[in-house]
C-alpha cells in the first residue's frame, strides 16, 4: 500500500490526488492536509468572485475528496502541528502543493506605507480568506493604482470598478461588498512596465473591461507599435492586442463615470506619502529590442490613496525544505526535492498558468512518483492520526466542509449577507446551536 500526504488542497493538490488514484488504484491511501478547515485553496480564495464558472471546478474535486481512499485533514498546520520531517517519516511520499500565497514585494521606497497592499491580501480580502478579513483597504480617495499587467491586476481593477449590482451576482463576501459599495474610487490606473505586446492579460479578462456597467477602459493610441508588428505575435496575444487597439480607437465611453486606465510603459519608482499612501512616482519606460523595459528618464506622479501590487507571488518557505529565494519556490528537479519529498503546481514551477495547467502538472508528478520505489514500514493514516491526537489537534474533516458548504449556500439563497465560515471554532459553534 502506497501512502501519500499532499500538503495543500488547492487545484495542484487535488489534481495530484486524482492522478494518484488513477495510477495506484486500490493500492494507495491519500491524506490531503490543509492549514484551513476548508479546502480548494485559490479556487475558494483566489479566483475572482465574479468568475463563478471557474470556481465550479471544485465540484470535480469533491469526487476525489469523497473517494474512500482519500481523506481531507483540514485545520492542520505544517510547522506547528506537524513538521515536514515527521510527515516524511509517516508517509511513503509527501507532496507539497502549497501554492504561492505571499506577495512579491515591489522593492521601491514607501512600499510599507499603509494603503500599499499586495494582491494576495487584496484578493484574499474580497474572497473571505480568514487571514485578510480585517484588511480594510483604503477606498476613500478617487484614484487607485494597481501595479502589474497580469490577470490578477485586471481582477483587482475590475472588482474596484464594478457596481454593487454587478458584484451581487458574485460570491463576494459582505465585509468587502459593504466598503466597496461606499468606495470613492473613480479612476483606476493599471501600471504596466512594458507595452501592450508584452502584457500578460488573457482575452476574456481584458475583454471584460469593455463590458462594465459604470466603468470604461482608457488605452492611449500612442502606446502601440506599428500595426504590422502584431502579425509576429502568438495568436492569444494578438487577440489581446486587438482588443486593446479597439479600446484605444473607440476612446473611453463618456457616459461612464469610472475609468480603468491601462497605463503602459510605467514602472513604480517610489510610493509617496508620510503616514499613508498619497501617490506613486513612476518612471516612464520603453521596450528595447530584447523586449526589456528601459527607463526613459522621464517621471510622472499619480496621486492616489490605494496601491495594489499585483506583480506575482512567492511560495512560503518551510523550515528544513530547500528554498530558492530568488525564484520564490522550493528547490526541485522536476518536482523532486529529496527522496520521498516532492512539490507540484506553483510551489514547483512558480506562479504561472491557469487552474487547468495544474492538472498535467499533477499527473506528470505522479508518473515520477510511481517510477520510484515505495518506502518500507511507513505507518500512514494510523501514524498521523496518533501524532495529531497526541498533540490535541482538532481536525476538520471533509464532512465538516460539506456542512460549511451547505450552510454557506443556504445563507446565500436566503439573501443573508454573505460571509464565509472560516474558523473551525465558528463551525463547531454553529453546529452546537
Which lies closer to ligand NAP via its Cβ, residue 32 or residue 307? 307
Q: Which of 202, 123, 107 is nearest to 156 (CA)?
A: 123
String of contacts with ligand NAP for each residue 129-158, x by CB under 6 A:
------------------xxxxxxx-x---
- Helix 119-126 vs helix 151-161: angle between axes, to the nearest 10 degrees? 50
Which lies closer to ligand NAP via its Cβ, residue 215 or residue 240? 240
Which lies closer to ligand NAP via its Cβ, residue 157 or residue 366? 157
Which lies closer to ligand NAP via its Cβ, residue 11 or residue 351? 351
Handedness of CA 351, 356, 360, 362 (dihedral sign): positive
C-alpha cell at 314: 512567492
- Does 194 contact ligand NAP by CB under 6 A? yes
Minimal distance, residue 359 CB to ligand NAP, in Å: 14
Which lies closer to ligand NAP via its Cβ, residue 207 or residue 383? 207
Segment 355 to 384, residues that bind ligand NAP, using CB under 6 A: none
Judged by DSSP in three states, 263 sits in strand
Which lies closer to ligand NAP via its Cβ, residue 31 or residue 263? 263
Cβ(66)–Cβ(399) below 8 Å: no
Separation CA 145–CA 154 (nearest Å): 11
- Chosen residue from 11, 37, 279, 312 binding ligand NAP by CB under 6 A: 312
Which lies closer to ligand NAP via its Cβ, residue 58 or residue 200? 200
Minimal distance, residue 296 CB to ligand NAP, in Å: 15
Element (H, E) at 245: helix 235-250
Minimal distance, residue 325 CB to ligand NAP, in Å: 16
Minimal distance, residue 197 CB to ligand NAP, in Å: 11
Give 34-67 as a DSSP string.
Answer: ESSSS--THHHHTS-TT-HHHHTTHHHHHHHHTS
**373-386 burial by CB neighbour count: b if 16+ within 10 A, else e?**
ebeeebebbebbbe
**Candidate ranges 169-177, 198-206, 229-237, 271-279; the one touching ligand NAP (CB under 6 A):** 198-206
Which lies closer to ligand NAP via its Cβ, residue 140 or residue 352? 352
Cβ(21)–Cβ(108) below 8 Å: no
- Does 193 contact ligand NAP by CB under 6 A? yes
Minimal distance, residue 229 CB to ligand NAP, in Å: 18
- Does 198 contact ligand NAP by CB under 6 A? yes
- Helix 58-65 vs helix 11-24: angle between axes, to the nearest 10 degrees? 40
Minimal distance, residue 84 CB to ligand NAP, in Å: 25
Q: Which of 208, 190, 117, 96 is nearest to 150 (CA)?
A: 190
Separation CA 57–CA 18 (nearest Å): 13
Minimal distance, residue 150 CB to ligand NAP, in Å: 2
**Candidate ranges 2-10, 199-207, 255-263, 376-384; the one touching ligand NAP (CB under 6 A):** 199-207
Segment 33 to 92, residues that bind ligand NAP, using CB under 6 A: 51
Which class for 270: exposed (0-12), middle (13-18), buried (19 or more C-beta within 10 A)?
Answer: middle
- Does 216 contact ligand NAP by CB under 6 A? no
Which lies closer to ligand NAP via its Cβ, residue 118 or residue 380? 118
Which lies closer to ligand NAP via its Cβ, residue 267 or residue 381? 267
- Chosen residue from 133, 214, 238, 267 binding ligand NAP by CB under 6 A: 267
Helices (H), 340-415: 346-349, 358-370, 380-390, 398-413
**Candidate ranges 137-145, 224-232, 351-359, 382-390; the one touching ligand NAP (CB under 6 A):** 351-359
Residue with the shortest CB distance to ligand NAP? 150
- Does 410 contact ligand NAP by CB under 6 A? no
| Beta pairing class for 116-118 and 306-309 | parallel
HSE-CB at 50 with a 13 A cutoff on CA atoms is: 21
Contacts of 208 (CB under 8 A, 6+ apart): 154, 158
Which lies closer to ligand NAP via its Cβ, residue 268 or residue 279? 268
Judged by DSSP in three states, 126 sits in helix
Handedness of CA 191, 196, 200, 206 (dihedral sign): positive
Binding site for ligand NAP (CB under 6 A): 51, 147-153, 155, 192-194, 198, 200, 202, 205, 267-268, 310-312, 351-354
Amino acid at each position: 500500500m502506497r501512502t501519500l500526504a499532499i500538503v495543500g488542497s488547492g487545484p495542484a493538490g487535488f489534481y495530484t490526488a486524482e492522478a494518484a488514484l488513477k495510477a495506484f488504484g486500490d493500492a494507495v491511501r491519500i491524506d490531503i492536509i490543509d492549514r484551513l478547515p476548508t479546502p480548494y485553496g485559490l479556487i475558494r480564495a483566489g479566483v475572482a468572485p465574479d468568475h463563478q464558472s471557474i470556481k465550479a471546478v471544485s465540484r470535480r474535486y469533491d469526487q476525489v475528496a469523497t473517494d474512500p481512499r482519500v481523506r481531507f485533514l483540514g485545520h492542520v498546520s505544517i510547522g506547528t502541528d506537524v513538521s515536514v520531517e515527521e510527515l516524511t517519516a509517516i508517509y511513503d511520499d509527501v507532496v507539497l502543493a502549497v501554492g504561492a500565497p505571499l506577495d512579491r514585494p515591489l522593492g521601491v521606497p514607501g512600499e510599507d506605507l499603509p494603503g500599499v497592499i499586495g494582491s494576495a491580501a487584496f484578493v484574499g480580502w474580497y474572497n473571505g480568506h480568514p487571514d485578510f478579513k480585517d484588511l480594510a483597504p483604503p477606498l476613500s480617495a478617487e484614484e487607485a493604482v494597481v501595479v502589474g499587467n497580469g490577470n490578477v491586476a485586471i481582477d483587482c481593477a475590475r472588482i474596484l470598478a464594478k457596481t454593487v449590482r454587478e458584484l451581487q451576482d458574485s460570491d463576494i463576501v459582505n465585509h468587502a461588498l459593504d466598503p466597496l459599495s461606499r468606495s470613492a474610487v473613480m479612476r483606476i490606473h493599471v501600471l504596466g512596465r512594458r507595452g501592450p505586446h508584452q502584457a500578460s492579460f488573457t482575452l476574456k479578462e481584458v475583454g471584460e473591461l469593455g463590458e462594465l456597467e459604470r466603468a470604461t477602459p482608457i488605452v492611449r493610441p500612442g502606446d502601440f507599435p506599428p500595426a504590422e508588428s502584431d502579425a509576429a505575435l502568438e495568436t492569444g496575444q494578438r487577440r489581446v492586442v486587438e482588443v486593446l487597439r479597439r479600446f484605444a480607437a473607440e476612446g473611453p465611453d463618456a457616459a461612464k463615470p469610472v475609468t480603468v486606465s491601462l497605463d503602459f510603459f510605467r514602472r513604480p519608482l517610489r510610493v509617496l506619502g508620510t503616514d499613508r499612501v498619497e501617490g506613486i512616482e513612476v518612471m516612464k519606460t520603453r521596450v528595447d529590442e530584447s523586449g526589456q523595459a528601459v527607463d526613459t528618464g522621464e517621471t510622472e506622479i499619480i496621486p492616489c490613496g490605494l496601491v495594489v501590487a499585483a506583480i506575482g507571488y512567492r511560495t512560503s518557505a518551510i523550515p528544513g525544505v530547500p528554498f530558492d529565494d530568488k525564484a520564490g519556490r522550493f528547490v526541485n528537479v522536476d518536482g523532486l526535492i529529496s527522496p520521498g519529498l516532492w512539490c507540484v503546481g506553483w510551489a514547483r514551477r512558480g506562479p504561472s498558468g491557469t487552474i487547468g495547467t495544474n492538472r498535467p502538472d499533477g499527473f506528470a508528478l505522479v508518473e515520477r512518483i510511481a517510477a520510484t520505489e515505495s518506502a518500507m514500514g511507513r505507518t500512514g493514516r494510523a501514524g498521523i492520526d496518533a501524532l495529531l491526537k497526541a498533540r490535541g489537534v482538532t481536525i476538520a474533516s471533509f464532512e465538516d466542509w460539506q456542512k460549511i458548504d451547505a450552510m454557506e449556500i443556504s445563507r446565500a439563497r436566503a439573501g443573508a449577507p454573505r460571509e464565509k465560515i472560516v474558523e473551525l471554532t465558528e463551525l463547531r459553534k454553529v453546529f452546537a446551536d
